[in-house]
Amino acid sequence: MEALIGKKAPSFKANAVINGNEIVEGYSLDQFIGKKDVVLFFYPLDFTFVCPTELLAFQEKLAEFEKRGVAVVGCSVDSQFSHWAWLNTDKNNGGIKGVTYPLVSDMSTTIARNFGVLAGKYNHDTGEFDGAPVAFRGTFLIDKEGVVKHSVVNDLGLGRSVDETLRMVDALHHLEKYGEVCPANWKEGDDAMTPSLTGVADYLSKH
């Protein structure tokens, strides 16, 4: 599928669980347009193995995202009822109790397909699904205008880095605030570059 970078994020309305215990209909990222950046991340399934480590890691860093004005939203092909049950299961029993950011239900797999992270596709010749009807571990950073600025997609067995997601948020905000581009391995507080030959040469002369 064509990359979404620089394009409007696909819009959706779906069932979701918010605040860890409230099921809502018609949840949409449109509510954040003009107000907040969004980190939307996909994961394969509730009640699995790598997934709870990722969801709990996002919760551990949630305050860091929030102080940067960023909303965190998770999404999988599970139902809202599965989400609710998992959110109300203790960690020592494989649950994610304590997670407060929204979890979106994508039972139709439409959202995953539109974002290009569905781990398979329908074979119209056989009428069967080739691959796994779940989402890869896709992470999308969407700015206040609803435009995708960063994405990374991991295979099912490869957990993502929440710290790297935070680094990309910081890089986006630095670019927006100062107009400076961020070089390799840049982190908050490091020197950035003016997007010109003079600016690049000045940066390289210091490093």
Structure tokens of 198?
């003079």
Is residue 200 predicted with pLDDT exceeding 60?
Answer: no
pLDDT (tens digit, 9 = 90+) per residue, 145-169? Answer: 999 999 999 999 999 999 999 999 9
* Average of per-residue pLDDT values in the chain: 93
CA 67 to chain centre: 17
pLDDT (tens digit, 9 = 90+) per residue, 67-89? Answer: 999 999 999 999 999 999 999 99
Quick check: is 51 catalytic? Answer: yes
From the list 77, 81, 41, the residue with the least C-alpha distance to 61 is: 41
In this prediction, residue 128 carries a pLDDT of 74
pLDDT (tens digit, 9 = 90+) per residue, 29-72? Answer: 999 999 999 999 999 999 999 999 999 999 999 999 999 999 99
In this prediction, residue 46 carries a pLDDT of 98
Confidence class for position 204, pLDDT limits 50, 70, 90: low
Q: Which of 17, 39, 51, 104 is catalytic?
A: 51
Is residue 199 predicted with pLDDT exceeding 60?
Answer: no
Domains, the chain, in order of start with CATH, read 14-160 (3.40.30.10), 161-207 (no CATH)
CA–CA distances in Å: residue 196 to residues 31, 84, 98, 187: 36, 50, 47, 21
CA distance 122 to 161: 30
